[in-house]
Chain A
Amino acid sequence: MKTEAQTVAATRSATLPALFAVILGVAVITMTGHLQAATLHDAAHDMRHATGFPCH
Chain B
Amino acid sequence: MLGKLLASALFAGAATGLIVGLLQLLFVQPVLLHAELYESGELVHFGGAAISAHPDLPGFDPVRDLLSVVFTMLTYTGYAFILVALMLVAEERGAQIDARSGLIWGVAGFVAAHFAPAFSLAPEVPGVAAADVGARQIWWFATVGAAAVAMWLIAFGRNWALWGVAVILLAAPHLVGAPEPDTFTGPVPTEIGALFAARALGVGLAAWVILGAFSAFFLDREQRRG
A binding-site residues for B, Cβ under 8 Å: 7, 10-11, 13-22, 24-29, 31-34, 36, 43-44, 46-47, 49-56
Complex formed: what's the CA distance from A37 to B29 in Å?
Answer: 22
User: Chain B binding site: helix, strand, loop or mixed by DSSP?
Assistant: helix
Per-position 1/0 for B58-86, Cβ under 8 A of A: 00000011011001101101111110111
Contact A54 B68 (CB under 8 A): no
| Residue with the highest number of chain B CB atoms closer than 10 Å, among A10, A13, A52 | A52
Stretch at the interface among B114-122, B157-165, B168-176: B114-122
Contact A21 B84 (CB under 8 A): yes
Closest 3 CB pairs of A and B: A28-B78, A25-B81, A54-B136
Q: Could you tell me how many residues of chain B have their Cβ less than 8 Å away from some Cβ of chain A?
A: 51
Contact B75 A32 (CB under 8 A): yes
Complex formed: what's the CA distance from A44 to B68 in Å?
Answer: 6
- Of chain A, the residue at the smallest CB distance from B139 is A54
Contact B124 A49 (CB under 8 A): yes
16 A-B pairs besides A14-B91, A22-B86, A43-B67 with CB distance below 8 A are A14-B89, A18-B5, A21-B5, A21-B81, A21-B82, A25-B78, A28-B74, A29-B78, A46-B24, A47-B24, A50-B28, A50-B32, A51-B200, A52-B118, A53-B140, A54-B130
Contact B75 A51 (CB under 8 A): yes
A44: chain B residues within 8 A (beta carbon): 67-68, 71
B9 is an interface residue with CB less than 8 A from chain A = yes
B21: chain A residues within 8 A (beta carbon): 47
B92 is an interface residue with CB less than 8 A from chain A = yes
Complex formed: what's the CA distance from A8 to B133 in Å?
Answer: 44
Contact A47 B68 (CB under 8 A): yes
A52: chain B residues within 8 A (beta carbon): 114, 117-118, 121-123, 200-201, 204
A13: chain B residues within 8 A (beta carbon): 1
Contact A32 B78 (CB under 8 A): yes
